[in-house]
Chains A and B, each alone.
Chain A
Amino acid sequence: MSITAITMPKWGLTMTEGKVVQWLKPQGASFAKGEELLEIETTKITNVLEADAGGNLLRIVAPEGTTLPIGALLAVVAPEDTPAADVDAFVAGFIVPEPSEETPAEAEAASPRMLDIGGRSLRYLERGAGVPVLLLHGFGADLNSWMFTQPALADGYRTIALELPGHGGSTKDVGAGDINAMADAVEAALAALGIEQAHLIGHSMGGAVAATVAARRPERAATLTLIASAGLGPEINATFIDGFVRATRRKEAEAVLRLLVRDPSLVSRTMIEDVLRNKRIDGATAALETIAKAWFPGGRQTADVVTAVAGLPAPVQLIWGRDDRVVPMTHATPQASRLPVHILEQTGHLPHMEKAGAVNELIRRFIGA
């Protein structure tokens, strides 16, 4: 058995360091692949690092409370009977890879790119190679919504996190801004990327868009994963939608972003700042207003993809947080007789961020089947 390292992961585009919040396994414990090892706080959100292989947590190097750069040594994994001197030597000899060692080509590959769809531009981030996986974020979000999802899938798939019109770095020209306009844009993006078929994964509004794209040309969806999806029932939290559109200041944004998650302490200053930076761009608020009016007038959803989803030949799964305060989990209940429905406990409207490990596993198993 060899000695291996658990290192500080890189989640999302902007993460440079992380803080060890809490070890979930004590020193000396053995663990299996997929088990939760420790909580790491980034400037954006706190997440759990899961074991990518089983082993024995021989020595914890990074105590709770320490902040370390990505790639830094957190713990040593080795059999119980490994001589202490060997572990000392491993720790002493461990070299944190310098971020500057990233070649310009690698940096370029890890950066978002722009797509032209008939004179409008859409921003996307592509990671990995293989069968395509398309990730569509929800209302007001951007490609960073998938910061924990995309890296987990990029090992084995060509993952594309696409920013819908009116969002992130994409065009602020949203046309009608409704579900058909969104689906048109996604279809144009798939054509521009040369993708015939993909595993479609959509969150909230992005879920309804993904379902529509699949329904228009059923052969295009290999599978469909809907996370806290819009379009499966009439209710929507109008306080969230209106508040999000209106927010220009940190406090206003914080109050509405807290509605997204079960544990409000997950809403960090950076998360708020990223939302405000997107919203400050000329045309962003007007675009969101147009979209909100088309999708959620009077606090009710106009999009209805129930029939579309029922008629799809591709496998469909639903993932929802029990404590979703934006789109109620009860929208999943009528689907449970026909589709696999996974309800995550202690989870709000962002299961893919709040329970990233569990959601990644559900997706991997579903699209790998």
Chain B
Amino acid sequence: MAQKTIRQALHEALAQEMRRDPRVVIIGEDVSGGAGTAGGRDAAGGVLGVTKGLITEFGEGRIIDTPITESAIMGAAAGAAVTGLRPVAELMFSDFLGVCFDQIYNQAAKFRYMFGGKARTPLVIRTMVGAGRSAAAQHSQSPYGIFTSVPGLKVVVPSNAYDAKGLLIQAIRDDDPVVFCEHKLMYDLKTEVPDEAYTIPFGEANIVRDGDDVTIVALARMVHYADEAAERLAREGIDCEIIDPRTTSPLDEDTILDSVARTGRLVVVDEATPRCNMATDIAALVAEKAFSALKAPIHRVTAPHTPVPFAPGLEKLYIPDADRIAAAVRDVHGYAR
């Protein structure tokens, strides 16, 4: 089986689903991207090249470049979805959700409910999250918690190429709107990815690593930092179990609760700011449903409650890393009443 990057895995998922189902279309800014440039129509293929090559195979009718207007992209895609297409719409940077949130959370997310279950909205919104490129406060946020808080939206936050492909295909085949969050620093990460199409069910967490001492729940890029921390902690005699929820809505509560029932200790890692984020949500879940199993207070490792700094040194301090995760694990592991 071949090693593929997340970029290749996403491209493969899109191409395979477009071949399988003529209703699948892609709409967004620069999804082909080269019109009027020396490189030609297919010069860009999205800011990070995920959709490059698709216009050659599927043509302008199905790879739709738009003007810079997120509200139009999301509005058109939501409308197309309820009328029978299966659009994959690009919200380039998730930070831009502010200008098109009505189309997402007040329209697409509500159609099934408002129309008494008679409308289906098979819409996928692909969007980039995450800090670490010095892209400053308006291009570096991780607002999957905001999407997760909206009933009617499903939210995917993959951490590796195998999951990215299987979850994107699942998202395209799902009849509800799905926000698919891609961490912008992870596109070149490689794992083994089957050539065939496959799906990973939503609400099924991945257990990245088995351990009996401390449960770490982490998302996206934080899964890799958690693994780095766990590797170090194993040498100190602390065995961590790492759970990657894969989807924040629906959330695989059982896998998290089962693990904490065994370990009695929980560290939740989230790159997003700490108020009303996934770390807070998961900490509340465990405090409510596994209180009697807890042997130590739950620790959250998150960004601080500030905008993402532009200065590289500050940004590095802002993003949770393996050191901070390891320190949190040592704290909960060494805790004594």
Interface string of A227-266 (1 = CB under 8 A from B): 0000000000000000000001111000000000000000
A319 to B207, CA, bound (A): 35
Contacts A269-B207, A280-B166 given; indicate if A248 touches B196 (C-beta within 8 A): no
A84 at the interface (CB under 8 A from B): no
Q: B245 CB to closest chain A CB, in angstroms?
A: 13
Which residues in A have some Cβ–Cβ distance to B below 8 Å?
Answer: 169, 248-251, 269, 277, 280-282
CA of A364 to CA of B90 in the docked complex: distance in angstroms? 59
Chain B, range 192-209, C-beta contacts under 8 Å to A: 194, 196-201, 204, 207
> Is there a chain A Cβ closer than 8 Å to B21's Cβ?
no
Residues of A within 8 A of B197 (CB): 281-282
Residue tally, chain B, CB below 8 Å to A: 14
26 contacts between A and B (CB under 8 A): A169-B1, A169-B194, A248-B201, A248-B204, A249-B201, A249-B204, A250-B204, A250-B207, A250-B255, A251-B254, A269-B207, A269-B210, A277-B194, A277-B198, A280-B166, A280-B198, A280-B199, A280-B200, A281-B194, A281-B196, A281-B197, A281-B198, A282-B196, A282-B197, A282-B198, A282-B199
Closest to B237 in A: A65
Chain A residue nearest to B196 (CB atoms) is A281
Which residues on the A side are within 8 Å of B200 (C-beta)? 280
- Which residue of chain B has the shortest Cβ distance to A279 in the bound complex? B198
CA distance A344 to B270 in the complex (A): 50
**List of A residues within 8 angstroms of B207 by Cβ:** 250, 269
CB distance from B253 to the nearest CB of A (A): 13
Cα–Cα distance between A95 and B280 once the two chains are bound (Å): 48
CB A137 to nearest CB in B, in angstroms, measures 18
Please, which residues of chain A bring their CB within 8 A of the CB of B199?
280, 282
Residues of B within 8 A of A281 (CB): 194, 196-198
For the complex formed, measure the closest distance between the CB of A258 and the CB atoms of chain B, giving whole angstroms: 16
**Docked CA distance A360–B166 (Å):** 37
- In the complex, what's the smallest C-beta–C-beta distance from A283 to chain B, in angstroms? 8
Closest A-B pairs by Cβ, 9 of them:
A280-B198, A282-B197, A281-B198, A281-B196, A249-B204, A248-B201, A269-B207, A280-B199, A269-B210
Q: What is the CB-to-nearest-CB distance from A294 to chain B, in angstroms, rounded to a whole number? A: 23
A-B contacts besides A248-B201, A269-B210, 15 pairs, CB < 8 Å: A169-B1, A169-B194, A248-B204, A249-B204, A250-B204, A250-B207, A250-B255, A280-B166, A280-B198, A280-B199, A280-B200, A281-B194, A281-B196, A281-B197, A281-B198
In the assembled complex, the CB of A19 is this many whole angstroms from the nearest CB of chain B, namely: 11
Complex CA gap A248/B166 in Å reads 13
Residue of A169, A251, A280, A281 with highest tally of chain B CB at under 10 A: A280
Contacts of A282 in B (CB 8 A): 196-199
Which residues of B sit under 8 angstroms from A269, Cβ to Cβ?
A: 207, 210
In the complex, chain B residues whose CB is within 8 Å of the CB of A280 = 166, 198-200
Q: How far is the CA of A169 from the CA of B2 in the complex (A)?
A: 12
Closest to A268 in B: B210
Closest to A43 in B: B210
> Which A residues are in CB contact (< 8 Å) with B204?
248-250
Most buried by B among A169, A248, A250, A251: A250
Which B295-323 residues sit within 8 Å CB-CB of chain A? none
Residues in chain A near residue B1, CB distance under 8 A = 169
Residue of B nearest to A280 (CB): B198
Interface residues in B264-305 by Cβ distance below 8 A to A read: none
Set of chain B residues within 8 Å of A251, measured between Cβ atoms: 254
Residues of chain B from 323 to 337 with CB closer than 8 A to chain A in the complex: none
CB distance from B212 to the nearest CB of A (A): 13
Residues of A within 8 A of B166 (CB): 280
Look across to chain B and name the residue whose beta carbon is closest to the beta carbon of A67: B234
Give the Cβ gap from A285 to chain B, nearest Cβ, in Å: 10
| Those of B218-273 within 8 Å (CB) of chain A | 254-255
B166, B198, B210, B255: which has the most chain A beta carbons within 10 Å?
A: B198
Determine the distance from Cα of A165 to Cα of B166 in the docked complex, in whole angstroms: 22
- Identify the closest chain A residue to B199 (Cβ): A280
CA distance A20 to B199 in the complex (A): 35
Q: How far is the CA of A2 from the CA of B198 in the complex (A)?
A: 53
Residues of A contacting B201 in the complex (Cβ-Cβ under 8 angstroms): 248-249
The distance in angstroms between the C-alpha atoms of A250 and B208, with both chains bound, is 13
Q: Which residues of A contact B254 (CB under 8 A)?
A: 251
CB of A202, distance to nearest CB on chain B (Å): 25
Chain B, range 1-33, C-beta contacts under 8 Å to A: 1
Q: How far is the CB of A359 from chain B (nearest CB, A)?
A: 27
Q: Which residues of A contact B194 (CB under 8 A)?
A: 169, 277, 281
- Taken together as a complex, chains A and B put the C-alpha atoms of A250 and B254 apart, in Å, by 11
Shortest CB distance B167–A (Å): 11
B255: which A residues are within 8 A, CB to CB?
A: 250
- In chain B, what residue has the closest Cβ to A270? B210
Alpha-carbon distance A248/B170, docked complex (angstroms): 13
